């Protein structure tokens, strides 16, 4: 049976989208609706009013899907969330890359790249949300489809031509514009060494070198997606929750275009939640700051220091503390409306162990001998003052032994100490976790990759999609796969740029460390991507890359490269490699869900970088030329916005790991155990796996993911312990109770509300950033200096 017959059979089946079959393009380039006769007949017989039809849809649609799943293994192979939310039909004639696509990409990517890059020099960020693009693009696309003339433009001296307005706005154009913005309307990690060198050390990098460096680290990251793509993308069991959320919003827009009553209700709820969150965030951030940390124990015993420490969410343990601030509730970058319940439980247990076990043991017990700066993130002297790291660096970036002897050894506060320990442990834990608990699934997928590249599959023209038999992969079989050489070309372009710039001395790292950076990133792509795909939790990079670089430049081969910009350069290469790979895979999963040709998705992602990176560099130059004195500390910004705090932190890390080096950092007795964290992370997952194989299955040890647990312990920074309990309660209601007992309501609205809350929160931050609200608050009871009403904490 041919592919067209398969698709026709599926469209005529009793599927949720049976009444929403995509229109077919006519020979004129415009579209007419082609509704299956069976659907037309059913509609004419029932002739239900819209409200009655909607009620019947609510009742019948899930039953139709599950009935179809019982009869069709292609549908049954999809997880229930996917088959209930994603369209199971496709129209391959829909427009993709059009003139409107390019116009909207420029409109949305250029300001997004500007705002995102500028934000990283400021105290408060002005986020440019991809949800804003996703929402605005829908209406902008329909507007262009109405007003643009249908002229055909011929390219001179070629046989090419294109139409300014080929027909109605396509959902596939909508998806591609959003993916381009996700790729290009962001910041570039390469800004850190570029800006640091000029601000702190008077070394201005050649503009061409800087721009090519920024392209190189991004394109290498995109190339590394090829290492995990065929393992993590096509398997339907890897749902990528963030991708599924955005797909749900796309599907709602698609159905809205066809006058679906349910879609109208979903969009009404979306905009109500979007507006509500935008307005609500002014309360904890501007009008009533105390709502960000509701410390009940402090209200009961306001003058009791012990009760205040236990109850405070701002510098205390956060016990019985609730928050109404979405920035605190949506903690760890893991949305409570998206993240699976088991992941939220692991993260909450990490918080509880951190704040309710380790903190009191450190404060009132004998957990450690160093009692200063319990919750400080800074390096400290023996008497608890901040260590003046910049004062121990000579003009040629070597350690000033005299100054170091004067200031003495460096110390960490105990909370920072164990956070660093678990920061290291999570890296090896992620690797051994996938080698144990994920081995069978990865091995199975790897065998499918090998079979897809075998002689038989190649002779029959079969791609990796033919190794999976779910409906989405069956649909995608009609589209050409991305050739491996495209990824190789991206990698070689980035690799050659880095080789040349490092060899010519434009950057600050030994050339051999580049190979270590790429090798370490390659090892981490699959384990970190695996976790992100199943848990919606992205492991933070932490200071792992800086530590590795610090050890390398302590060797004889690296001792001449101890420039403080070296660690951030190395971190930009190694960190961006697997960060960008994960984001590329996530966006390609959206393309998979929305039935976009893979090659078109790839083009949209690379095109986004071509638009965004030059804008990123232009912003860097503008900020350094006009705000450089504020960032370097020569002048004081009256609004305290151009602080460059991220650059200052990176410079401190550079001095720590490149100039001082790990050997001196770990010299003090309490810091010596830190390197052993890698051993702990490597050993614990195999132990848990043996327990999983021997103990009863109801214990679900396979869900005790220690890499996520360690990561939860390592990201507790900033003395903020509020929001975690509120998040746990909210997560229980949405991802446990509603998912289990109100699944129809959950699958219809959960992802929509998640998208609306994130979009509203980002709009609120953007508005406060540009109106001064981020730094000027209306403080009721302004005479009280403590936001969470814990006066004994500050006495």
Q: How far is CA 456 from CA 300, 470, 606, in A?
A: 74, 21, 32
Contacts 24+ apart (CB under 8 A), 682-690: 682/428, 682/429, 682/431, 682/432, 683/432, 684/429, 684/432, 685/429, 685/432, 685/433, 685/435, 685/436, 685/437, 686/432, 686/436, 688/436, 689/436, 689/437
Name residues of the chain where pLDDT drops below 70: 1-63, 66, 124-127, 331-334, 639-640, 716-719, 769-786, 794-795
Task: For residue range 263-287, list pLDDT tens digits in order.
Answer: 888 889 999 999 999 999 998 877 8
> What does the pLDDT read at residue 6?
36
How open is the CA angle 682-684-690, to the nearest 5 degrees? 120
Residues in Cβ contact with 288 at an 8 Å cutoff, skipping those fewer than 6 apart? 780
| Tokens read off for 186 | 């962001």
**Which of 488, 614, 510 lies closest to 562, judged by CA?**
510
The CA distance from 707 to 246, in Å, is: 26
In this predicted structure, what is the pLDDT of residue 779?
Answer: 47
Give residue 714's pLDDT.
86
- Residue spans per domain, the chain: 3-16+34-77
- Distance between CA atoms of residues 770 and 774, nearest Å: 8
Q: Do strands 294-295 and 161-163 pair parallel, antiparallel, or not at all (unpaired)?
A: unpaired
- β-bridge pairing 152-154 and 161-163: antiparallel
Q: Could you report the per-residue pLDDT of 34-49, keeping only the tens digit for each?
A: 333 333 333 333 334 4
Q: Pick from 90, 69, 66: which is nearest to 3 by CA?
A: 90
Is-contact 735 340, C-beta < 8 A? yes
Do residues 422 and 714 touch, judged by C-beta distance below 8 A?
A: yes
Q: Which pTM does this prediction carry? A: 0.86
- How confident is the model at residue 398, as a pLDDT? 84
At residue 60, the pLDDT reads: 55
Give the model's pLDDT for residue 389.
82
């Amino acid at each position: 049976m041919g592919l067209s017959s398969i698709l026709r059979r599926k469209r005529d089946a009793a599927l949720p989208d049976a009444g929403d079959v995509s229109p077919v393009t006519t020979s004129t380039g415009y579209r007419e609706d082609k509704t299956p006769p069976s659907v037309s007949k059913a509609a004419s017989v029932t002739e239900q009013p819209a409200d009655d039809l909607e009620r019947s849809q609510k009742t019948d649609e899930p039953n139709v899907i599950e009935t179809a799943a019982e009869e069709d293994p292609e549908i049954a192979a999809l997880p229930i969330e996917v088959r209930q939310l994603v369209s199971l039909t496709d129209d391959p004639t829909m427009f993709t890359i059009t003139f409107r696509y390019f116009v909207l990409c420029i409109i949305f990517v250029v300001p997004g790249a500007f705002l995102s890059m500028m934000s990283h020099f400021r105290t408060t960020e002005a986020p440019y949300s991809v949800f804003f693009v996703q929402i605005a693009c829908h209406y902008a696309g329909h507007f262009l489809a109405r007003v643009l003339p249908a002229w055909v433009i011929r390219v001179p001296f070629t046989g090419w031509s294109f139409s300014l307005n080929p027909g109605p706005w396509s959902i596939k154009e909508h998806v591609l514009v959003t993916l381009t913005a996700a790729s290009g309307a962001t910041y570039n990690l390469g800004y850190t060494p570029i800006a640091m060198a000029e601000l702190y050390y008077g070394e201005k990098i050649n503009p061409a070198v800087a721009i090519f460096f920024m392209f190189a680290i991004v394109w290498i990251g995109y190339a590394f997606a090829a290492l995990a793509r065929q393992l993590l993308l096509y398997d339907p069991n890897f749902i990528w929750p963030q991708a599924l959320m955005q797909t749900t919003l796309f599907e709602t827009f698609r159905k809205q275009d066809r006058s679906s009553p349910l879609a109208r209700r979903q969009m009404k709820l979306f905009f109500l939640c979007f507006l509500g969150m935008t307005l609500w965030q002014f309360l904890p951030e501007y009008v009533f700051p105390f709502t960000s940390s509701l410390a009940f124990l402090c209200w009961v015993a306001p003058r009791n220091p012990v009760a205040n420490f236990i109850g405070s969410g701002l510098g205390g343990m956060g016990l019985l503390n609730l928050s109404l601030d979405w920035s605190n509730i949506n903690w760890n970058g893991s949305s409570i409306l998206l993240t699976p319940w088991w992941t939220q439980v692991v993260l909450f247990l990490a918080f509880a162990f951190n704040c309710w076990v380790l903190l009191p043991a450190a404060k009132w017990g004998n957990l450690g001998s160093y009692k200063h700066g319990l919750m400080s993130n800074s390096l400290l002297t023996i008497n608890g003052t901040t260590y003046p790291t910049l004062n121990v660096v000579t003009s040629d970036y070597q350690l000033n032994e005299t100054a170091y002897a004067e200031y003495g050894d460096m110390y960490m506060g105990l909370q920072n100490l164990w956070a660093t320990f678990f920061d290291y442990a999570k890296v090896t834990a992620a690797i051994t976790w996938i080698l144990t608990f994920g081995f069978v699934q990865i091995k199975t997928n790897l065998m499918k990759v090998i079979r897809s590249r075998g002689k038989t599959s190649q002779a029959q023209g079969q791609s990796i999609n033919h190794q999976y038999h779910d409906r989405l992969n069956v649909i995608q079989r009609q589209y050409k796969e991305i050739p491996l050489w495209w990824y190789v070309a991206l990698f070689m372009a980035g690799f050659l740029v880095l080789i040349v710039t490092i060899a010519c001395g434009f950057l600050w790292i030994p050339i051999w460390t580049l190979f270590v950076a790429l090798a370490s990133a390659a090892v981490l792509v699959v384990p970190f991507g695996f976790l992100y795909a199943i848990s919606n939790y992205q492991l933070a990079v932490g200071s792992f890359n800086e530590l590795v670089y610090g050890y390398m430049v302590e060797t004889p081969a690296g001792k001449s490269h101890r420039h403080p910009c070296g660690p951030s350069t190395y971190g930009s290469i190694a960190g961006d490699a697997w960060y960008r790979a994960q984001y590329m895979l996530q966006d390609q999963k959206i393309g998979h869900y929305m039935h976009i040709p893979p090659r078109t998705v790839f083009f949209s992602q690379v095109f986004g970088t071509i638009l965004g990176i030059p804008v990123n560099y232009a912003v860097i130059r503008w900020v350094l030329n006009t705000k450089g004195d504020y960032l370097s500390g020569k002048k004081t910004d009256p609004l305290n916005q151009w602080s460059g705090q991220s650059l200052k932190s990176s410079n401190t890390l550079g001095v720590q790991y490149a100039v001082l080096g790990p050997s001196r950092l770990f010299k003090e007795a309490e810091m010596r155990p830190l390197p052993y964290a890698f051993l702990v992370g490597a050993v614990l997952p195999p132990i848990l796996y043996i327990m999983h194989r021997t103990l009863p299955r109801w214990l679900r040890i396979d869900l005790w993911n220690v890499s996520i647990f360690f990561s939860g312990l390592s990201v507790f920074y900033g003395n903020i312990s509020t929001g975690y309990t509120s998040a746990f309660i909210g997560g229980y209601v949405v991802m446990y109770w509603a998912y289990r007992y109100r699944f129809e309501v959950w699958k219809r609205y959960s992802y929509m509300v998640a998208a609306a809350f994130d979009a509203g929160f980002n709009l609120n931050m953007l508005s406060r950033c540009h109106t001064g609200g981020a730094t000027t608050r209306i403080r009721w009871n302004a005479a009280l200096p403590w936001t969470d009403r814990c006066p004994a904490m500050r006495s």
